[in-house]
Amino acid sequence: MRLATLAGAVALTAGIAFTSIPAYASPTPSPSPSAPSARAQGDGMLQALQRDLRLTAEQVRVRQAHEATAATLERRLRDRLGERIGGAWYDAGKERLSVGVLNDKDAKAVRDAGATPVQVRRSEKRLAETKEVLDRAAKAADDKIYGWHVDVAANAVLVSAADQASGERFVRAAGLTAGEEVRITQGRAFKPVGDIRGGDEFFSPTDTPGTYVACSVGFSVDNGGFITAGHCGKAGAITKGHDWSDQGVFAGSTFPGGDYAWVMLYQGAKWATRPWVNDYNGNNVKVAGSQEAPIGSSICRSGRTTHWRCGVVQGKDVTAHYSDTAIVEGLTKTSACAEPGDSGGAFISDDEAQGVTSGGAGGCADGGISLFQPINPILHTYDLTLTTTKRSGSIVGWQDKCIDVPNSDGVEGQRPWLWDCNNTGAQLWNFHRDGTIRNFALCLDTAGGSTAAGAAVQLSRCSGAASQKFSLTTAGALVNTNSGKCVQVVGAGGVGSRFELGVCNGSGHQKWRKV
């Protein structure tokens, strides 16, 4: 194949992008309706919400407006009711916030504020304490116990189990009784968490029923997803992970003109973004930043078809003429080969992210070349932040133990605990540019947004609330900037100990460092 000059158009083989794959291995359940966690991200997110929630475009807009109001109202009412609150939740049927209350005075305050009061018997604080009893008995849970959590709408702690008898047996082992406050529900076993790494494969459906395209992950972003090639999927298209489990939705996609996209992960889908690229040799290459490499620099790429391939940067600002209707500008040319299915995969030079695979000419058997879409314009276009090791790491403290997400179960309301450091994803925290500390697409927070000493530290849906802002000082204190109090280990500080806010005193229980 003849190529034009680097500054001009490049004629490339079509089809380098992806491979069509039958859906015989694909699970059939649709994505969780509650998955998209942010406000609409352009037409792509609007379409996804319409599909998954079975709403019209106007209903989506109305719902989002109501949800935004509910979020603001919840923070205000939590401040007013304090520990008396029985929980808060958005009621789609009533199109407004519902708040659990314990007395008529609080019910009036909730009603006057514009929310719906719901009389309950137990405060959110009491339910959290009941759940902690189960947490402490976690070792008594066998393989028929799938998990437990506070359900504020039910005003109860729900234990998910294979059957009623197994659930009751576990509850008794914890010293509790199954009933109104602790209820047994039949559930399914949780699946292990999947890490999002550059070069890993993912799938998205084509316009032909029953078929999927296979592409590769580019790089994780702090916004709760990853970037990839635009031709891998249209805005609003769903994605499935390498194990065919539900993963996310294309929140934005550009092709032709450019060739880039980003996928927003579903909350609760058990995928976690990591500052890594898969080298297909059993290791993860760490991503430290996105400093652009000059022409002539060595560069490597990762993808699901040809795995880990390297070459040099040969030219920049390349225009690719894939077809008369598919012209892409601003690409970078390299001597690293690529083949169908590698599209979207990561290009990295040393530990600096460079871009995502767009296309190529030839293959790995005949000295082919490749093109990638530079990363920084992608981040700028979608206002994304690259997930890097500079902002990620373990938080090590008391007795050289780490802040850990129990059993990698990243769910809202989960309380991290102190655990032996083990370099797993459950201990890899991202220090976001907005002052939040994140893992599993959730933010470190205080229960109910409390600023009081003794307030429990937990994971919450990232909302921009002041209670979710933390700062790791040079003195080694992890300060909740909203309260001015420090994160400390509860009690003696053994394995499994939880965390709370305390008046900063410089004690060992309040000393932390990022590793």
User: Which phi and psi (to 5°) does residue 133 adopt?
Assistant: -60, -45
User: Which phi and psi (to 5°) does residue 276 adopt?
Assistant: -135, 155
Query: What DSSP state is assigned to residue 39?
Result: S
3-state class of 324 per DSSP?
coil
Residue 483: other Cβ atoms inside 10 A: 19
Judge residue 152's burial from the number of C-beta atoms within 10 Å of its C-beta, 0-12 exposed, 13-18 middle, 19 or more buried: buried
Strand order in the sheet with 201-205: 19-22, 211-216, 201-205, 238-240, 246-254, 260-265, 225-228, 219-221
Instruction: Confirm whether 343 is a catalytic residue.
Output: yes
Instruction: Confirm whether 259 is a catalytic residue.
Output: yes
Per the residue annotation, which of 52, 231, 358, 432 is the catalytic one?
231
Phi-psi region of 263 (alpha: psi -120 to 50; beta: other; left: phi over 0): beta
Strand order in the sheet with 182-186: 145-151, 156-161, 182-186
Per the residue annotation, which of 343, 349, 450, 460 is the catalytic one?
343
- CA distance readout (Å), 343 to 187, 203, 260, 268, 398: 38, 12, 10, 27, 44
Instruction: Confirm whether 231 is a catalytic residue.
Output: yes
Using omega within 30 degrees of 0 as the cis cutoff, is the peptide bond preceding 36 cis? no
Per the residue annotation, which of 200, 222, 259, 342 is the catalytic one?
259
User: Which phi and psi (to 5°) does residue 301 adopt?
Assistant: -135, 155
Q: Which residues are catalytic?
A: 231, 259, 343
